[in-house]
Amino acid sequence: MIIEHRGYQKQLWGWLSYAFASEVFVIVSLTLFLPICLEQFARDNGYQLPDMTEQCLESTRCVVRIGWMWVDTASFSLYVNSISVALQALTVISMGGIADHPPHRKRLLLSFAFIGATSAILFLLLPSSSSLWLLAAPLAMLANVGFGASVVAMNAYLPTLARESPEVQAKLHDNDDEAPLLPSDDQPNRSRTYDEELSRATARISSFGIALGYAAGITLLVVALFPVTKLRGSTFSLRLSIGLSGIWWALFSIPAALWLPGATGVEQPWSARSEIAASWKRLGGMLHPREIQRLKNTFKYLGAWFLLSDGFTTITSTAILFGKTSLHMQPSALIVVGALTPACGIGGSVVWPMLQRRYGWSNKQILVALVLLVSAVPAYGCLGFLGVFDGERVRFGGLTTVGEMFALAVYFGFVYGAFQGYARALYAELLPAGEEARWYGLYSITDKSSSFVGPLVVGVISDATGNIRYAFFFLVVMIWLAVPLLLSVDVEEGRRDARKYKYGSSQSVDDST
């Protein structure tokens, strides 16, 4: 179905508005203030080791009693995050089949947005001195689950928005005024032209969404830094920052509620319970060797994404920890680093699509280039060993100064912002039509399931060597391992396989008809 240009623009801005609304929660809360706030909640209610009789002080190691267990206050935040990741994965699997029905997709997106935003806002009403302080844990979990599930529904709109963009529709109807010409294997030139335009449209929309989300996150981060700095990082200032991210999330979801397409006409009867059961059954079927072979390029890409998503995320956390422990950077400096990365990510999200249009690069070519460029960050950190002699550091080179940390934050942000947009866009090209939510759910699960591997290995390396710099070698290897897998993805073949794919069909994987 071709959407009227004005109607299409409204749907596109509805989609972009949700990217603008939800990304603030990631930048402001999920990656910065929420982990610190949870630790502070536990510390405000904990006791000093080893006696566990005196209230915690800022510089002491503390534990807090939860039920019958004593838990380290720092570990409390990590446990909450781990549980929320598991719950998010379970939710994403359960909702996949429902979100693939366009009438229900919008409802799911808005429902989970409401759950996530409300949970973040409720931090404003929960002081750490309250006897109910432990409710901070389920609120954090619900906020994370709400974000992850709503973004899966949001991503499911991306392939359709790209296919229905005016420039792609123009290619579809070039030189054919009587009837639309769908791309097919027996018309390779027309098909290739259509696919190239579709690829560029997908990358452009995805990158623009990333840029808008980063801009929103930076804006609110700057606003939140004033109370955090003035109140010297008090628990209230942290709760205020999280609550503000929830308010922003809810407020800017309104255009998405108004403009994204929803239910039209008479809906077919359905049961949420049966849809959830079917989604779990379908996940097992999707991972059957027969189905993997039929969509081998899609699964190759997921394998590369497993390594890359973990590697890129671990670079961020390791660099911040390295700056704090090895370069002895002040908290204010680390916050500046945290703001520089998404700020430069906006530039990367805008510049790389411009370069793509000018030089005609494919999404895959750009993604491989971005991966290689990012691998230079940990590789540069490895060079620091060349400047170490008897414990003395050189003034510059190998990430041995604070100035280098700021420079690498600019460089990494410029590349990472584009990477996120192109990673999502290339995956969209390899998905069967009408099943986007299921496959973006698997994309999200692959991302989340790998999120513990990198930090775990880095922690083991740090404990074993006493020097977190050794972790940079691991990160270089992890990213480079993904490159051959990414290069092996045949995008054109993957598109053809996705177009003729029908789940559970007996069609031979070698059938080219």
Both tokens assigned to 359: 């030089």
Angle between helices 5-24 and 136-156 (to 10 degrees): 150
State the 10-residue block means of pLDDT for the chain, 513 residues long: 68 96 91 83 87 75 85 78 82 83 87 97 95 95 94 91 88 55 50 81 91 91 85 87 96 95 62 79 83 92 90 79 74 76 89 90 94 93 68 62 89 91 91 85 74 70 77 90 94 91 59 40
- Measured from the Cβ of residue 439, the count of other Cβ atoms closer than 10 Å reads 25
Q: Would you say 70 and 53 are in contact if contact means Cβ atoms under 8 Å apart?
A: no
All residues at 6 or more sequence positions from 151 whose CB lies less than 8 Å from its CB, including other chains: 22, 444
The three-class DSSP label of residue 249 is: helix
Q: How far apart are the first and last CA of the chain?
A: 25
Query: Which pLDDT value is given to residue 485?
Result: 94
Query: Which pLDDT value is given to residue 388?
Result: 46
Query: Which pLDDT value is given to residue 3?
Result: 46
Query: Which pLDDT value is given to residue 447?
Result: 74
Q: What is the CATH number of domain 287-501?
A: 1.20.1250.20
Q: Which fold has domain 1-259+274-284?
A: Growth Hormone; Chain: A; (1.20.1250)
CA R_g for the chain = 24
Whole-angstrom distance, CA of residue 124 vs CA of residue 245: 11
- Measured from the Cβ of residue 6, the count of other Cβ atoms closer than 10 Å reads 7
Whole-angstrom distance, CA of residue 242 vs CA of residue 145: 15
Whole-angstrom distance, CA of residue 212 vs CA of residue 217: 9
Q: Where are the domains of the chain?
A: 1-259+274-284, 287-501
Query: Which pLDDT value is given to residue 115?
Result: 97
